[in-house]
Amino acid sequence: MLNPNFVYLGILISLSGSISYIIDTLKGKTKPNKVTWFMWALAPLIAFSAQVHQGVGKEALLSFIVGFNPLLVFIASFVNKNAYWKITRLDLFYGGLSILGLILWYITKIGNIAILFAILSDGLAAVPTVIKAYHFPETENYKIFLAGAIAALITLLTIKVWNFENYAFSLYIFFICAILFILIKFKPGKKVTRG
């Protein structure tokens, strides 16, 4: 188990990956879906609020940074002419899950409900990007997802009490970032298409 202060190193790593993605977004190299990146900002910030409410310590900072970074990408996407804004039924569904999580959290005062819905919402928001990364990895930048996976792993290694509010969102972030990193960096979709 790492010292909890290593969370700060994870935050710096995550932020460095985001800076790379934001620069590529501003240059028009990446083509972020504005809805996805907005939801990727909203869901973790909901989880962060719920974790703070549940008494999670420094480990909650990962949820904050994985919400803050997409918020920066979302803002940068308005400069990128290749970014797109398309609201689908799926977007409305996972947006509704986020709002439902907030409402249920407010009614029940149970932060774990908000964390669960934030994970579900974030995972559904990831689906379009996972599909795009599989088919068109060149439209993405793997560095933000590699940094996110490393930051999540560092956070997981600092956890002293393994309960849902402490590990769930970090574990989810590790897996989704690792999947996106692999799809973008190693381009298995392109290899299958060529084969």
Q: What is the pLDDT of residue 68?
A: 97
Give the structural domain span for 142.
6-194
pLDDT at residue 190 greater than cutoff 70: yes
> Which residues have a Cβ under 8 Å from the Cβ of 58 and sit 6 or more positions away?
4, 5, 7, 8, 158
Is residue 1 in some structural domain? no
- Asked if the structure places residue 62 within a domain, the reply is yes
Residue 147, domain member (yes or no): yes
What whole-number distance in Å separates Cα of residue 132 and Cα of residue 135? 5
What are 179-188's pLDDT values in tens digits? 999 999 999 9
- The per-residue pLDDT for 195 is 60
Residue 107: phi, psi to the nearest 5?
A: -70, -50
Domain count, the chain: 1
In this structure, is residue 55 part of a structural domain? yes
Considering the chain, what is the average pLDDT of its residues?
A: 90
Of 106, 101, 88, the C-alpha closest to 42 is 101
Q: What percent of the chain lies above the pLDDT cut of 90?
A: 57
In a domain, 110, yes or no: yes
Dist. CA 49–CA 68, nearest whole Å: 13
- Range from 26-30, 81-85, 107-111, 164-168 carrying the lowest mean pLDDT: 81-85
* Confidence label for 72 from pLDDT (cuts 50, 70 and 90): very high
State yes or no: pLDDT of 16 exceeds 80: yes
pLDDT: is 110 or 11 the higher one?
11
Packing angle of the helix pair 142-158, 6-27 (nearest 10 deg): 170
The pTM score is: 0.90
pLDDT value for 85: 67
